[in-house]
Amino acid sequence: MISDFTYVPAAHRRADEPFEIVERKGTGHPDTLADALAEHLSGVYSSYTRDRFGAVLHHQFDKTGILGGRVQVGFGAGQMLAPVRVLLSGRASGSFAGEPIPVRELLCDATRQFFADRFPMLDVEQDLRMMYQVSQGDSPGGVGGKNTANVRSRWFAPHSLDDLPELTKLACNDTSSGAAFSPPTPTEQLVLDVESVLAGQERPAWLGSDIKVMAYRTGSRVQLTCAVPQIAAHVPDLDTYLTNREAARAALERHAADRYPALTVQVWLNTRDDEQRPELYLTHTGSSIETGDEGLVGRGNRYGGLISAMRPFTMEGISGKNPVYHTGKVYCVAADLICRGVHAELGHGAEAVLIGQSGRELTDPWAAAVRVEPRPGATAAPDRAAVAPLVDKALAALPATVEDILAGFYPLH
């Protein structure tokens, strides 16, 4: 049982509040790409060190950035004029027991593959420029130098597994918080649906990935604004662009009417378009990384893939942080486990916030707060006695989540 647990039985559901504001930056948005790249780099590095040395070594790539290039684009074609710049920044253990780790090679190769998989129109050798700033840092508290008995002094150059204290006592590395909720409201789920609806069973060749969605609900009325890019190589003229745009709008309107009949949904698409100039959301890559837009870890979606303004969330940039012990990251996962447990076992919606204290045991948060709302048709939320064991169960399961984090099981961005 955690020492400080606040239980908040809610009188109503988030979906019944008078208004909601929900946003999502799609998979090709520069901020989402930065989050995804940082997490990919953490996974590649973690897998290498675990497979070679038996443990995930200390690292953090949560300062990764994507700095846009320049492009020339027109109907039927586009080309890069200046490369997309990728800032690889952070810290990582550069050796283990005296054996050097090829950190730069690992991260640069992983970055090229990351962009090649998502943007086949890019020549990753020519259209990407790496700005490598990863260091083998020190850790605060490493008094006495790297050859003393103080383990912190060898944090990024361990002599053996004995220099990894998390293998014997898993502790918070920072004083920070994590948050999650379950399940999404109908408005939140509608926003999450947009990308998959537009992609359909067979993704249209013209559809770009930098899809941004903003929903504003008042009562049962939802206004949905979407920015949907088109890829120039597959759009030969203005009529094709307009046809594609209207097909996308119609698909979203049909989906909303079919899946969310209790909501009245109005769809706005590419509201900046001016057909007379023309000024259109026409792109070479399908993402604004091509035109100077920047992406940085932590500026995009919160845990769960949304920016849901009425929900609790952490401002931690969680992507790229160490999946073993970084407080803000793993407490988002723990909060998710709590909320999923409450929903799966009790049928009620929940929100959870966990606060970690630097040095405190990870499975015993400094404080936890769980808000539980009535399930549909119920007049009240369950009592504390029903919820508390689910909190304990989720926290006990936390050390075993590393593999699932590395496998991308949790919606970090």
Average pLDDT over residues 86-100: 95
pLDDT the model gives residue 249? 97
Average pLDDT over residues 273-281: 93
pLDDT the model gives residue 148? 54
Residue 195: strand, helix, or coil = helix
Q: What share of the chain is helix, strand, coil (3-state, %, to 5)?
A: 35, 25, 40
**Domain boundaries along the sequence of the chain:** 5-17+175-184+299-406, 30-152, 187-280
Average pLDDT over residues 338-349: 95
Domain 5-17+175-184+299-406 -> CATH class: alpha beta
Q: Measured on CA atoms in the order 97, 100, 104, 109, is the torsion positive or negative? A: negative
pLDDT the model gives residue 375? 87
- Residue 411 CA to residue 189 CA, distance in Å, equals 14
| Share above pLDDT 90 across residues of the chain, in percent, rounded to a whole number | 88
Binning pLDDT at 50, 70 and 90, where does residue 141 land? low
- Residue 142 CA to residue 94 CA, distance in Å, equals 17
Confidence check: pLDDT of 140 > 70: no
| Share above pLDDT 70 across residues of the chain, in percent, rounded to a whole number | 96
Task: Please tell me the pTM assigned to this model.
Answer: 0.94
Our separate counts of H helices and E strands in the chain read 7, 20
Confidence check: pLDDT of 143 > 90: no
Confidence check: pLDDT of 151 > 70: no
pLDDT, tens digit (0-9, with 9 covering 90-100), for 285-338: 999 999 988 999 999 999 999 999 999 999 999 999 999 999 999 999 999 999
How high is the mean pLDDT of the chain? 93
Assigned token pair, 99: 């054996």
Average the pLDDT over each of 96-105, 242-251, 370-379 and give the range with the smallest value: 370-379
pLDDT the model gives residue 355? 96
Interior CA angle at 276 toward 271 and 281, to 5°? 40
- Pick one of 3.40.640.10, 3.30.300.340, 3.30.420.40, 3.10.20.90 as the CATH number of 187-280: 3.30.300.340
pLDDT, tens digit (0-9, with 9 covering 90-100), for 42-70: 999 999 999 999 999 999 999 999 999 99
pLDDT, tens digit (0-9, with 9 covering 90-100), for 187-235: 999 999 999 999 998 999 999 999 999 999 999 999 999 999 999 999 9
- Of 70, 370, 80, nearest in space to 233 by CA: 80
Confidence check: pLDDT of 38 > 70: yes
30-152: CATH number: 3.30.300.10
Tokens 């500026």 identify what position?
299
Q: CA dihedral defined by 396, 397, 403, 406, rounded to 10 degrees? A: -90
pLDDT the model gives residue 138? 65
Give residue 60's Cα distance to chain centre.
15
Alpha-carbon Rg of the chain, whole angstroms?
A: 23
Q: What is the DSSP string of 207-230?
A: B-S--EEEEEEETTEEEEEEE--E
Binning pLDDT at 50, 70 and 90, where does residue 378 land? confident
Cis amide linkage into residue 18, ω under 30° from 0: no
Cis amide linkage into residue 183, ω under 30° from 0: yes
Binning pLDDT at 50, 70 and 90, where does residue 382 land? confident
Confidence check: pLDDT of 111 > 90: yes
Binning pLDDT at 50, 70 and 90, where does residue 3 land? confident
Specify whether the CB–CB gap between 34 and 221 falls below 8 A: no
Same fold, 30-152 and 187-280: yes
Tokens 């076992």 identify what position?
345
pLDDT the model gives residue 335? 97
Binning pLDDT at 50, 70 and 90, where does residue 2 land? confident
Phi, psi of 99 (to 5 degrees): -90, 120
Confidence check: pLDDT of 356 > 60: yes
Q: How far is CA 303 from CA 64, 157, 181, 308, 330, in A?
A: 17, 31, 9, 10, 11
pLDDT the model gives residue 162? 93
Confidence check: pLDDT of 176 > 80: yes
